Structure 1
Amino acid sequence: MKQFLVTGGAGFIGSAVVRFLIEHTHHHVVVVDKLSYAGNLASLATVADSPRFAFEQVDICQRAAVDRVLAGYQPDCIMHLAAESHVDRSIDGPIAFIETNIVGTYQLLEAARHYWQTLEGKKKNDFLFHHISTDEVFGDLHGVEDKFTETTPYAPSSPYSASKASSDHLARAWMRTYGLPVVVTNCSNNYGPYHFPEKLIPLMIINALAGKPLPVYGNGGQIRDWLYVDDHARALYTVVTAGVVGETYNIGGHNERRNIEVVETLCELLEELAPNKPAGVSQYRDLITRVADRPGHDLRYAIDAAKIERELGWRPQETFESGIRKTVIWFLNHQTWWRDILDGSYRGERLGLAESSPPPSAAAKE
C-alpha cells in the first residue's frame, strides 16, 4: 500500500486517475489541485468519502504550500497532471500556461527533489516522479503512415504545447542533473466521462442537445488519435508500477479519426440515444457549422504505442466505437454535472466565488 500524490487530480484526466486508484487499488491518494476553472470536485464525488482519499487545495506554483503537503503526506509517488491544456486559451492568453506548466512544474520538481533527499532506504529507492505530458509536444505529422515515437524530435506549435515541451525537458533535466527518479509519458487526445465542456467531444454533445451550432475548424480534416480516459488512467498506473525510471512511454488509443468524422459520429449516436431534438432541429448533423481555422493548427497526431504494449503489456480496452458510445451515454445521464459548469455554480458552491466559469469557446480544442 502506497501513498500517491496526484497534482491536477480534480481535472479531467487527473480525476480519472484518482477514481481508478481508489476503486481498483488499495493505495492512498492525496489530490493537489488549485481548482482553476477546469478543476471540479464533483468529478471526485464517487470517491471523496473513501478513507484513502484526501484533498488539498494548493497551487503548485506556491512552493511553501507544496513543501507542506509533501512533508505531511510523505508520498511514495507523485503523478504530475496539473496543467493548463486548452490550445485556444493559450493563444489568447499564454501567460497562464507559462506560469502553471513551466514555473509550476519547476516548483514541484524542486519540492520533490528536496523531499526525496530527506528519504532513506527503501522509501527513497522506490520513490517516483511521474510526469504526464501530451503528444502535442511533437508538432504534427503530414504523412499518412508516420507516428510519434518516444524519440520523435520536439516541434511544438502553440503556446500550450511549447509550455508542455518545456515541462518535459525540466523533468528530464532534474533526473539527469540531480538524480530524481523520473518517468515521462506522452498521450494522445483523451475523451470520456467528466470531460470539461470546452473540449471538442463534450462541446458537440452539449451544443447539439441545446440545438446550438456545432463549430468545426476549417474543413474538419485534422486527424487525432483518440484515447478513452479510463484506458489512459490504467496505462498511467501500469507505468508507475512496472515502468523503468528514466524511460518515456507513449500512450495512444489506436483510434485515428478526422475531426469532422468525430462530430458526425456524435450526431449519429445522438439521433439514436436522444431522438427528442430541440425545436427546429430536423437532424443533429444540420447543426454542423464551419468556422475559420485557428492559427498554427496541427494537421495530424498519431501515437506509436508499441513500446508500452511490448514492454509493459498495456493495450487500450476501448475501441473508438465503444468508448464514444459510453461517453455520449454518460453525458446524457449526468446533465447536472455539466450544467453546473455551464452556469458557473460548480465554482460558487465549492469555492465561494461569485463569478461564473468562462463559457466554452466558439470552437473547441480536440
Structure 2
Amino acid sequence: MNSYVSSSESGSFERDMDYLPDRITRGGRRPSDGPVVGEPWPVEPGRYCLVAAPACPWASRSLVVRKLLGLEDVLPLATPGPVHDERSWNFDEQPGGIDPVLGIHRLQEAYLARDPAYDKGITVPAMVDIPSGKVVTNDFPWITHDLFFEWSEHHRSDAPDLWPDHLRDEMEEVMERVFTDVNNGVYSCGFAGSQEAYEEAYDTLWSAMDWLEERLTTRRYLMGDEITEADVRLFTTLVRFDAVYHSHFKCNRSKLVELPALWGYARDLFQQPAFGETVDFEQIKRHYYVVQDDLNPTGIVPTGPDLKGWWTPHHRDQLAKDLTDRTNVRRAG
C-alpha cells in the first residue's frame, strides 16, 4: 500500500503519518533529533536494503538521494513493481517474482518478520535488515535525512551538501510548505471527499505553486545555487505533475509545461543523472491509473503526455551566473 489515507467528516484528505520510526545511525548511537523506538540500528555497508518503488513519489526521494550521495555500493536496492494489491507492494516483475536481495515476493513479508501482528500500511520506501529480513523503518522523511547525516562516511567525495547549516532554518520552512501544500497538496485534491474540500485544496496547491514559480524565477534551485534536500522533495511531485496529477488528481489549472520557471527548474534537475535516471514514467502512470481504481475504474493508462520536452535546454545555469554578477556589482559599488 502506498499509505493509509482517509477523509475527514468535511471531506478533506488526511494522510496517515504513523510510520515505524526506528533509525539507522552511525555506530548505532541514539540520535539527538527526531524519533527512535527501542535501540537504534548501526550503519553497516551491505547490511540494509532500501526498498523503493520508482512509481512512488515518497520512495523516489530516497532513490535520488542514494544516487546523489554515491551510496549504491553500500546500500543494496530492491525495486517493487508499480502495481500492488491491498496486501502489499510486490516483486512480480522480478525473475520468479522474488527480489534477489531479500528473497521475498511481497514487502509485507519484511513487515511481518518484524511484527507478526503488524496491521498498518505496507509502505515504501522502507529500510530492511538483510540478515534478519525485518523492516527497520518506513519513516520516509527521516530515511533521506539519515542517508545524509548518518551515512556520511560512505558518501562519494564530491557529494552535495543537501542540508547546509547556514540555510537550515529557511530550508525547513520551505520544505514544510512544499510537503503540506504541494507534495501532499496534490493528494488533497485527488482524494477530496466533497466539492468544498476539493476547491479548498486546489486553491492551496495553486497558491503554493505560484509562490514557487516566483521564487524560482530568480534562483536556480530552491535555496540558491546548489541542490539541497528541498529540491529532491519538490522534484518528485513536479515530475509526476503533467503525467498524473493534472488530470488524475484534478490539479488542472495549468500544466507544468505552462509554468516557465518551474518547468525549466524541473528539466534542470531531470537532466542530472541522480534525478532523471531514477524516473520511470511508464511505472508512474501504471501505478496511479491502475492501482487507484476508485479514481480510474476503467484501469486505462493514458498514452501521453509527450515526454520529449524533458530533454530540451533549460538555461537555468545562467541564473546562478547572473546572481553572481549582480552580487559582484553591488560589492564593487
User: What is the TM-score normalised by the length of structure 1?
Assistant: 0.28
Q: Which structure has more strand as a fraction of its residues?
A: 1
User: What is the TM-score normalised by the length of structure 2?
Assistant: 0.29
